[in-house]
Chain A
Amino acid sequence: MLSKLVTREQAVEHVLDGSRLMHGGFGTIGSPALLIDTILQKGIRSLTLIGIDAGYPHVGIGKLISHRRVKHLITTHIGSNPEAGQQMMDGKLEVTFYSQGILAEKIRAGGVGIPGIVVDANMGGERTEGGEPVIFAGRPCLIEPAITAEVGIVYAKQADTYGNLIFDKTARNLNPLVAMASDITIAEVEEIVPVGELDPEKIVTPGIFVDWIVTRSGGSS
């Protein structure tokens, strides 16, 4: 039977120096810890990292930042990772901030093949990145380009061998969006089951968006 299950080393084959890497997770919750460690061990550098936050200095996605593997961070919040703030102030890390819901929607647009979204221009205060100003529906708006990535890493509770995914409570967060917006999506899952065992009504991410699966235990079978 066809299966997308691979070893963790095979899964990160397409993560290269300079890759645009998008990740699920809100803090440590729903963060693909095993894939992050594998990318770290592979020695990849100069990543552009796209996600909700910068994790913590020694836990979650923050490890890649602490080990100086990231050149550009596209995110919404780095308060839990002072190391990211320090690198930003020292000019060693470029950081682009978006409001969280806008970043999520830009990623969703990327995931559904829409070139951009139109957002209310009056919302924000003073930010580091702004979209293209337009008047739309009679009011000032911004066109915000969609965001995609070369590789996406997500965490899910369950997958079947086709890559259909079911998430786990607040560990869902950005994961389903990342899965859709990445050219190659790698899912790290607690459990993998044969096709047919997941209730189609309960599948959140259809397997067509998932390329590789690794289990948290790391094995390929």
Chain B
Amino acid sequence: MGLEIDQRNMVARRAAKEIAPGMAVNLGIGIPELVADFIPNEWQVMFHSVNGILGLGPTPLKGEEDQHISNAGGAPVTVVPGASYFDSTIAYGMIRRRKLDVAFIGALQVNRKGDLANWIVPGSRVHGFGGGAELAYYAKKVIVLMSHVDPHGEPKIRKECTLPLTAKGCVDLIITERAVIEVTKNGLLLTEVMYPYSLENVILHTGATLNISENLQLVD
């Protein structure tokens, strides 16, 4: 992603504010994996992982990993009291049945209509959809966590995506190290600018028109 770990953590900390106690939340691979670290245990948020866990817990201490408990990225995790294991059809049954309150997803590009591209860079990198398309389509709220620009410095938030789409019109909110942007019926609405970036910097590095919120916040 090209972001330093403290920037990734900053995005994850901001993302955690979108979660309320008792929610069921899916964390995708990448920055989304960090979000759980910013949620208090007593909130009893149930983290869902497509490889077959509801009730993902924190990273185990070194030496205490269980080789058969991982998150969808393959990293060792623990489970919380009340957790359950299940097969792949049940993992997606929960998603399609619209039981997930929030899905945090990484992205390569997002456009002004909330279309999501994150599965292939033709001629360069191929990932595949994994569970991204279904999470993006069926979760009640979809929040993209990503770097504001790509490794070439090009905007990842664009008027149109140039990469093949994973899902259309699915993104509700975008959180980057520079800004928080809502996807609305009237286009993209900039609500927060993160220190040390300026409003001008965010506009310059965003490839689509931004409406500026009347309540725009400059966040330290």
Taking Cβ atoms with an 8 Å cutoff, the residues of A that contact B are 26-30, 52-53, 75-80, 84-85, 88-89, 95, 97-102, 104-105, 108, 120, 122-127, 167-177, 204
Q: A100-B50, A173-B52, A174-B88 are in contact. Are A123 and B165 (CB under 8 A)?
A: no
Q: Report whether B53 and A170 are in contact in the complex, using a CB–CB cutoff of 8 Å.
A: yes
User: Taking each of B117, B128, B164, which has the highest tally of chain A beta carbons within 10 Å of its own beta carbon?
Assistant: B128
Give the shortest distance, in Å, between A82 (CB) and chain B (any CB). 8
Of all chain A residues, the one with the shortest Cβ separation from B29 is: A79
Q: Report whether B52 and A125 are in contact in the complex, using a CB–CB cutoff of 8 Å.
A: no
Q: Report whether B126 and A126 are in contact in the complex, using a CB–CB cutoff of 8 Å.
A: no
Q: Report whether A123 and B134 are in contact in the complex, using a CB–CB cutoff of 8 Å.
A: yes
B199 sits at the interface (CB 8 A) = no
Q: Give 20 CB contacts A-B under 8 Å.
A: A29-B68, A75-B128, A77-B129, A78-B126, A101-B95, A102-B92, A104-B87, A104-B88, A122-B137, A123-B137, A124-B133, A125-B116, A125-B119, A169-B85, A170-B52, A170-B53, A172-B85, A173-B88, A176-B87, A177-B89
A84 to B89 CA separation, bound complex (whole angstroms): 25
Chain B contacts of A53 at CB under 8 A? 128, 130
Give per-residue flags for B119-136: 1 if the beta carbon is below 8 A from chain A beta carbons, else 0: 100010111111111100
Complex interface residues of chain B between 105 and 159 (CB less than 8 A to chain A)? 115-117, 119, 123, 125-134, 137-138
Of all chain A residues, the one with the shortest Cβ separation from B74 is: A27
Of all chain A residues, the one with the shortest Cβ separation from B50 is: A100
Of all chain B residues, the one with the shortest Cβ separation from A30 is: B68
Q: Report whether B127 and A79 are in contact in the complex, using a CB–CB cutoff of 8 Å.
A: yes
Q: Report whether B134 and A170 are in contact in the complex, using a CB–CB cutoff of 8 Å.
A: no
Of all chain A residues, the one with the shortest Cβ separation from B71 is: A170
Q: Report whether A125 and B68 are in contact in the complex, using a CB–CB cutoff of 8 Å.
A: no
A156 to B133 CA separation, bound complex (whole angstroms): 29
Chain A contacts of B176 at CB under 8 A? none
Chain B contacts of A176 at CB under 8 A? 87
Taking Cβ atoms with an 8 Å cutoff, the residues of B that contact A are 49-53, 66-70, 72, 74, 85-89, 91-93, 95-96, 115-117, 119, 123, 125-134, 137-138, 164-168
Q: A99-B134, A123-B134, A124-B167 are in contact. Are A104 and B89 (CB under 8 A)?
A: yes
Chain A contacts of B126 at CB under 8 A? 78-79, 84-85, 88-89, 95
Give the shortest distance, in Å, between B214 (CB) and chain A (any CB). 33
A26 to B116 CA separation, bound complex (whole angstroms): 24
A76 to B51 CA separation, bound complex (whole angstroms): 13
Give the shortest distance, in Å, between B111 (CB) and chain A (any CB). 12
Of all chain A residues, the one with the shortest Cβ separation from B131 is: A100
Q: Report whether A104 and B66 are in contact in the complex, using a CB–CB cutoff of 8 Å.
A: no
Give the shortest distance, in Å, between B98 (CB) and chain A (any CB). 12
Partner of B129, one of A76, A84, A105: A76
Chain A contacts of B49 at CB under 8 A? 170
A83 to B193 CA separation, bound complex (whole angstroms): 40
Partner of B70, one of A27, A126, A174: A27
A123 to B138 CA separation, bound complex (whole angstroms): 8
A101 to B88 CA separation, bound complex (whole angstroms): 7
A123 to B168 CA separation, bound complex (whole angstroms): 8
A29 to B67 CA separation, bound complex (whole angstroms): 7
Q: Report whether B88 and A100 are in contact in the complex, using a CB–CB cutoff of 8 Å.
A: yes
Q: Report whether B92 and A104 are in contact in the complex, using a CB–CB cutoff of 8 Å.
A: yes
Of all chain B residues, the one with the shortest Cβ separation from A97 is: B128
Of all chain A residues, the one with the shortest Cβ separation from B127 is: A79
